[in-house]
Structure 1
Amino acid sequence: MSSPSNWPLPPESIRFVIPRRVISELALHPLSQGLYPLGMGYYRQASGHQMERQEHDDNLLIYCLDGEGEAVIDGQKTRIRSGDILLIPKGVSHTYQARKRKPWTIYWVHFHGHHAEDFAQHLQQRESNQRRYVMPIGIHSRLASDFEALLEARESTYNLNAYICAANQLRQILSHIALLQPLAKQKQSRGGLDIERVHSLMQTHIHEQLDLDTLAESISLSKYHFVKKYKEVTGTTPINHFIQLKIERACHLLDTTNNGINEVAFAVGYEDAYYFSRIFKKLMGVSPSQYRKMRTGAFPYKSE
């Protein structure tokens, strides 16, 4: 794997390199050998982030959620903006960095496998016989959610099935990008409200708290107009939707992990487990512990 940058990692960012013994197993397993991740992360407002590789021995995908970066790839200089995909195939020398005035926020994943080149060619449309390394697709909350699901692999210290799942999640991400490309030129807003940008911000802060001021500022609207327009489009308020996303993620963690209720609460941005349980029960009709018992049949789906 090409080494990830040594950018100093702040608490709100993630860098995860898959253990080599796991990579060896993924490279041999029939369900993952075609395409598998080597490392992945999330860098938030990555001021000072930069990288130079003359020898690049894997494939790199970067999804810019906010801010800007710039890159020189095979001698081509280009700017990366919010909503852009940067895809650098194996063997292509490159440099890239976050812009100083408005540093980017990105998801990234290094990957390998005998289908990696096939995916790269599928995504990178050629112009004048030159490969396109930067693909504008816009901000999509579902794609951000896909990356968050990929990053969940880091919670498994050694569970091959979890990494096989991550390998197929990566396949989903690349397939999803291809699906989004024909829509890239369409405006990603309704009546002046860029709802995908708002929902992507929610997805990437699912483990934190967000206020209305931050959400409104992300699309350059006043708080009053933001709430009004959002409710016209969705029928609910931004904060209610954000809470719903948190509870959906909590359900996923309760279904797929053995983490305690306190840990699940913290993972979705609640330091007070009792308060989290109250909100969970209000939305789901059962407590977190009762919800977890449903999967074993120890608690009924419906009350008699």
Structure 2
Amino acid sequence: MQILKNEDWFHEDGFPIAVERRDPQESFGIHTHEFSEIVVVTGGEGLHVTGEDSWPLTTGDVFVIGGSRPHDYLNTNRLQLTNILFQQEALSLRLHDLPSLPGYHALFHLEPAWRRQHQFKSRLRVTRSELATAVDLIQQLDSELRDRSSGFQFIATATFMQIVGHLSRCYGRTKNVDSISLLSIANAISHLESHFTDPIQLDDLIELSQMSRRSFLRAFESAMGCTPIAHLIRLRIDRAAQLLRTTNQGVTEIAFDVGFNDSNYFSRQFRKIMKCSPREYRSQSSLQP
């Protein structure tokens, strides 16, 4: 199986966003890649093939493909795709309140994880006006990436974030029954990420998801790669690390501010995730330029 390498698809300057247009899209052969991509179908029709399954595509379909997922396109009839390639680790984006949008979690985490189980029926399908907005933003992004004028990295990153935000909002407005079922889970994830400093009970998240306990836990771990409690702890530790870097607050005060009620437990969890104590982390951060 062919593996598409970063160095063959991104500019030599290393900027981790690229736009690839396929008009028409032809069969490429089953492949994976080292990067992720947002796929926007702008015309025609065809089949999205994963090696085990195949699903029909049509204008307005939008989906996200992680690098490790094998795929190809077959039976194409004037199929037109715009692919936004991105290296997630290299981007290191600050998401601000994006995780408060259930559509973000549904589009980028839940739908890819549940694609086979839902037979691709929970994919995003944008309206004509939503597609026009997405295409306009992609054109702006593509223009910046082609010209590469001074400041293009800042503007291209901002435009990429606009695209992600727009498509996340689109998913949140969907009327598709299968997509709405994913949004129920996404509501619980969004609540967790927006209120992680508050006391949170697993039963509250299950109630928001409108699922059984077993189904919710399975769905959450499949999408996020960990249990809800582990994700909650990670969110709190990430926030604590930010406070250690940017404030003079004491370790105990920070522990309580981010939602822990035991500073010793906080320190143990911090060391487990960050591989050093909170005080060591602050000391190391202060030495960096």
Could you tell me the TM-score, scaled by structure 2's length?
0.46
The answer to which structure has the higher helix fraction is 2
